[in-house]
Amino acid sequence: MSRSSFVAACAQMRSGRDPKANIDQAVGLIREAATAGAAYVQTPEMSNTVNRDRAGLFDAISPEDRDPMLEAFRTLAREKRVHIHAGSLAILRDDGKVANRAFLITPDGEIEARYDKIHLFDVDLPNGESWRESRTYTGGDCAVVADLPAGRLGLSICYDVRFAYLYRALAEAGAEILSAPACFTRQTGEAHWVVLHRARAIETGSFMISAAQAGLHEDGRETFGHSIIVDPWGRVLAEAGDQPGVVMAEIDMALVADARGRIPTLQHTRTFDLDHVEAPVAKAPLARSA
């Protein structure tokens, strides 16, 4: 990976309940991307298991120091000499709760950064789907940026992508590449996935790189897929469909300075007050005589 450019890849998965099968799937996709020249490979949210059954989830996951997918990724990063960004893994915390945690792993197999998803998806959708991540997961409280050889990476996960202030904060902290690996539902993904990624890229003059889960999973959920790489001008450089696989694009870091020079919004931040101007009370109409 050079300072000026590198090849990034999204490994689009369809994770199931079995962590071992998910490891095999992810490792195969990462190998494919690395062989094709990727220096940075990202996997989706919940790479190690997708399981809506709470008891089944707890049976399948481990503490960080014993998570088999994380160990496999560290070994593979050393073997292929690539950065591996585990979009997120379900990790058992010391307090018995669960973290939705991303990891950035260096080509030496070291964990450079961790990020726990800040915004939890507690939503009732019009099609009857109901999601309560807060029942199982503990949200993070710290935004994270980490250095790649080519530039600074801002980490986020899935539902975070709807909160523009997070990405502005990451960009103001030096991030030139932003990420939101996801397990987006099909319904919300069809409506908002691409436009949100283009918006976050344009607002900050940054690359957006997000691997996604795709298709009908063992637990019955259906995810949108469409792993995506967007440049700082909002152009889609690569986009997957709805099947597992790899998409790749060259990341030319010169485009960040170009976009930010043309539209320097990060230099124009201002603080402001907010007034609430109450509307005048409407007078009741006069009664009409009979």
Q: Which residues are catalytically annotated?
A: 45, 117, 158
Contact 15, 221 (CB under 8 A): no
Distance CA 181, CA 51 (A): 17
Sheet holding 144-148, edge to edge: 144-148, 151-155, 177-179, 207-210, 228-230, 236-239
- Give the distance between the most distant pair of CA atoms in the chain: 91
HEC string of 32-93 equals HHHHCCCCEEECCCCCCCCCCCHHHHHHHCECHHHCHHHHHHHHHHHHHCCEEEEEEEEEEC
Q: Which two tokens stand for residue 171?
A: 């960009």
Q: Of 3, 10, 32, which Cα lies nearest the Cα of 210?
A: 10
- The DSSP letter of residue 97 is -
